[in-house]
Structure 1
Amino acid sequence: MELNIKSKNVLVTGAAKGIGRGIALAAASEGANIALHYQTSEKEALETKRLIEQHGVKVVMVKGDLSSLEEVQEMKASIGRELGSVDAIVNNAGWAQFKPFFQYEPGEWQREVDICFHGVLHLAYTFIPDMINKNNGKFINIVGDSARTGDRNLIVSAAARGGTISFIKSLSQEVGRNNIQCNTVSLGLIDQGQTYDQATFAKIIKQYPLKRLGKVDDITGCILLLLSSWSDWITGQVVSINGGQSMIN
């Protein structure tokens, strides 16, 4: 099935490793050029760049703190010099502290809000005007299911990402007339090498009807669909990839 993303310029944030790396490699395998964003994981980003280059596409590494509008704008300038304008964004970047709310010190929650919420606004504000001018584009924002269901140990990041779900829905209404599709992908727990004791793992797995954690490859197919021309009439949606763990709209 032809996805029609060959030679498209796709920005993948948080792409140095894990889910972001998998998405970047999947898009590159379909012929997309990749703007590979990272913030601190330079060694891993260089390895991801090497793997992407094996697909014969263009790739540029861009370092930036998404909580800073100025740094996101610098990212855009760097990508523009190397690749040209961005055709699609997959925002995989985020940051969370795993603890109950009342263990926070005052103001300690600010960075989670700045990255998980303001970072999405900064990406949209910086990159979508070019998509409007071209009358074409895709914006995909990835969140964890805690953004929809809540989680007492991810309370701040869940709230911030919940806000992005509303933002993406509203944004899809604003830019739909410009043939830009904006969607959210909501993830259950993905196996990225975490270690659990046997009792904890059994308790986690019990929540999943499919009786396993997700894999990176479980995500990439959906992302490729949303990047492709096959999703041109899908916008403002929250697509769940969670092994059936939470069955809500």
Structure 2
Amino acid sequence: MSTITLVTGASDRIGRAIAATLAEQGATIAVHYHSNKEQAEQTVEQIKSIGGQAEAFQADLSSFEDVQQLKAAIEQSLGTVTSIINNAGYTQLKSFFDYSPLEWQKEIDVCLNGLLHLAYVFLPTMKEQKHGKLITVIGDSARTGDRKLIVSATARGGVISFIKSLAQEVGRDQIQCNVISLGLIDQDDLQFSPEVKRQVVKSYPLHRLGKAQDVADAVAFLASDRSNWITGQIISVNGGHSTLGS
């Protein structure tokens, strides 16, 4: 069976690393982006440069209609999606009382409702085929709490509950649903002083921050047939920073 994988938020950074790694393993990649078409096309070109197949697709995951159109566009161009890697997200770095009323809605719509839309639209076809994988990427703040990530952490706490429950519902259809929970990933955008960064790194037992490829490799395992008896789980990719159970 050919593997057609939708990677959301794949225009750059972690999403691009995930898309490229899965392409190296032979998957055809639907590169999703929200607003940056140019970067999404760069992801496509990177995949094609290594001999892979990919095409870019735009959608606002907070819109149910957009997700429906996304599915139709992918099926018309590439075929039926067999795996979804949901890496898309939206976060505002602020404490709760710095929000204006309802300013938090976009974070909830993208981080939680976007996943619900993807599952509701794409999984019925996977159920018919008796095969599929849904992997969603969150931050450890969903389990530990973080006063500066309070809304996105709350939304992704809901993601955990949803994935665990969905895994029970669709397991009989041989669909696996899992979460990858991340520690701090260094993508050359951390605004730390050298001293602060040293202190942060020291808090990780492996004495380094994560890399995008660390995430991509974990996703690649869960997306492969080697993980076919794993579902409803939270896989921590955090350098041992927190020893949280699932």
TM-score under structure 2 length normalisation: 0.97
Whole-Å Cα distance in 1 between the matches of residues 195 and 51 of structure 2?
Answer: 45
Displaced runs of 4 or more, over 6 A: none
Whole-Å Cα distance in 2 between the matches of residues 149 and 209 of structure 1?
Answer: 17
Q: Choose which of 221, 227, 235 in structure 2 pairs with 1:225.
A: 221
Whole-Å Cα distance in 2 between the matches of residues 81 and 91 of structure 1?
Answer: 21
Deviations 1:96-152 (A, max 9, x none): 000100100000000000000000000000100010000000000100000111000
Q: Choose which of 117, 141, 160 in structure 2 pairs with 1:146.
A: 141
Shift in Å, 1:206: 2.7
The residue number in structure 2 matching 1:32 is 27
The residue number in structure 1 matching 2:94 is 99
Shift in Å, 1:203: 2.9
Q: Choose which of 195, 209, 214 in structure 2 pairs with 1:213.
A: 209
The alignment partner of 2:240 has SS state of coil
CA contact 1:69–1:122 (8 Å) conserved in 2 = yes
Identity of aligned residues (%): 52
Q: Which amino acid aligns with 1:98?
A: L
Whole-Å Cα distance in 2 between the matches of residues 57 and 43 of structure 1?
Answer: 19
Whole-Å Cα distance in 2 between the matches of residues 155 and 94 of structure 1?
Answer: 14
Shift in Å, 1:198: 1.9
The residue number in structure 2 matching 1:112 is 107
The residue number in structure 2 matching 1:190 is 185
- Which runs of 5 or more structure 1 residues have no equivalent in the other structure? 1-5
The alignment partner of 2:179 has SS state of strand
Whole-Å Cα distance in 2 between the matches of residues 242 and 214 of structure 1?
Answer: 7
The alignment partner of 2:187 has SS state of coil
The residue number in structure 2 matching 1:199 is 195
Shift in Å, 1:41: 1.6
Whole-Å Cα distance in 2 between the matches of residues 207 and 159 of structure 1?
Answer: 24
The residue number in structure 1 matching 2:129 is 134
Whole-Å Cα distance in 1 between the matches of residues 148 and 59 of structure 2?
Answer: 27
How many residues end up aligned between the 2 structures? Answer: 244
Whole-Å Cα distance in 1 between the matches of residues 144 and 86 of structure 2?
Answer: 20
CA contact 1:31–1:55 (8 Å) conserved in 2 = no
Q: Which amino acid aligns with 1:141?
A: T
The residue number in structure 2 matching 1:245 is 241
Q: Choose which of 157, 161, 168 in structure 1 pairs with 2:163.
A: 168
Deviations 1:24-51 (A, max 9, x none): 0000001100000001121111111101
Deviations 1:50-109 (A, max 9, x none): 011123333121101110000011100100001111000000000000010010000000
Q: Which moved more, 1:52-61 or 1:136-145?
A: 52-61
State whether structure 2 residue 71 is matched by structure 1 residue 84. no
State whether structure 2 residue 113 is matched by structure 1 residue 123. no
State whether structure 2 residue 9 is matched by structure 1 residue 21. no
Whole-Å Cα distance in 1 between the matches of residues 31 and 79 of structure 2?
Answer: 14
CA contact 1:188–1:241 (8 Å) conserved in 2 = yes
The alignment partner of 1:159 has SS state of helix
CA contact 1:58–1:83 (8 Å) conserved in 2 = no
TM-score under structure 1 length normalisation: 0.96
Whole-Å Cα distance in 2 between the matches of residues 13 and 243 of structure 1?
Answer: 24
Whole-Å Cα distance in 2 between the matches of residues 54 and 63 of structure 1?
Answer: 22
